[in-house]
Amino acid sequence: MSLKAEVSMALTAALETAINTYLQMDPETLKRLADFSDKVIAIELQDTGISLYCLPQAQGMTIMSHYQGDADTTISGRPVSLAKLTILNDTQVMFAGEVTISGDVELGQDFKKLLENIDIDWEEHLSQVTGDIIAHKTGHAIREMAAWWRNNSKRAQQNGREYLQEEVQIIPDKEEVEAFFAGVETLRDDAARLAARISQLASSRADDKPKD
């Protein structure tokens, strides 16, 4: 048991430390974690056999890899889908069924919302090290860069897509893709109807054959 168990403990401990270090930077979120202090939230990483159990409390989060009791909520999905949900806030993964919440669904959603609303005052933390003036100027520069990226990345994506669709025509546009899929659906339904018809004819022919 020894080495594998100790490595697993080391990884869980590292994850717990990283999460708590992050949470310590937002005292408001820490206070709100107290609302979940008697709850257990399980996160099931599908296809890995790994489950993690989060036990929030006002002091931070305890993360365990084994828990004997019943979790109040289980959030289940492939690691990539869970990452999309938590890091990119891509809620489509839930509608597409890639991530499911079972048990107390409202608890799962409230917990997810709590984590999304973590608001770390990075400027305040930086000012402890560099002083207020440098922290403010750094914060201002980062906010400007982030705004430039938000404005220009969308335009860059759009320009790229239009170039590939309209100029070199190596990828279809949205309408063409939808028409193609509609055609595939129709062909599938027609094939199913044909198969049913053939089956019906074969069985009525077998019934018509004289019995010896």
Partner 1 sequence: MNDKTTHFGYEDVSWDEKQGKVAGVFHSVAQKYDIMNDLMSMGVHRLWKRLTIELSGVRKGQRVLDIAGGTGDLAAKFSRLVGPEGEVILADINDSMLKVGRDRLADKGIAGNIQFVQANAQCLPFADDHFDCITIAFGLRNVTDKDEALRSMYRVLKPGGQLMVLEFSKPTVKALNPIYDTYSFKILPFIGKLVTNDAESYQYLAESIRMHPDQETLKEMMEKAGFSQCQYHNLTAGIVALHRGFKI
d(CA 68, CA 38): 15
Q: Nearest distance from residue 17's CB to partner 1, in Å?
A: 10
Out of 37, 102, 117, 151, name the contact with partner 1 by CB under 8 A: 37
Determine the Cα–Cα distance for residues 106 and 73; give it in Å rounded to an integer: 9
Query: Judged by CB under 8 A, how many residues of this single chain contact partner 1?
Result: 22
Q: Which is nearer to partner 1, 26 or 123 (CB)?
A: 26
Give least dist CB 26 to partner 1, A.
Answer: 17
String of DSSP letters for 64-90: ES---S--SEEEEE-HHHHHHHHHS--
**In whole angstroms, what separates CA 145 from the centre of its chain?**
26
* Region binding partner 1 by CB under 8 A among candidate stretches 1-9, 89-97, 113-121, 140-148: 1-9
Stretch that binds partner 1, among 7-15, 120-128, 129-137, 193-201 (CB under 8 A): 7-15
Least separation in angstroms between CB 40 and partner 1:
8
Subset of residues 42 to 101 that bind partner 1, contact rule: CB under 8 A: 55, 57-59, 62, 64-69
Calpha distance 38→164 (Å, rounded) = 53
Among 110, 109, 86, 98, which residue's Cα sits nearest to residue 22?
A: 86
Cα–Cα distances (Å) from 133 to 29, 138, 147, in that order, read: 27, 9, 21
> Which residues would be at the binding site for partner 1 (CB under 8 A)?
1-2, 5-6, 9-10, 12-13, 37-38, 40, 55, 57-59, 62, 64-69
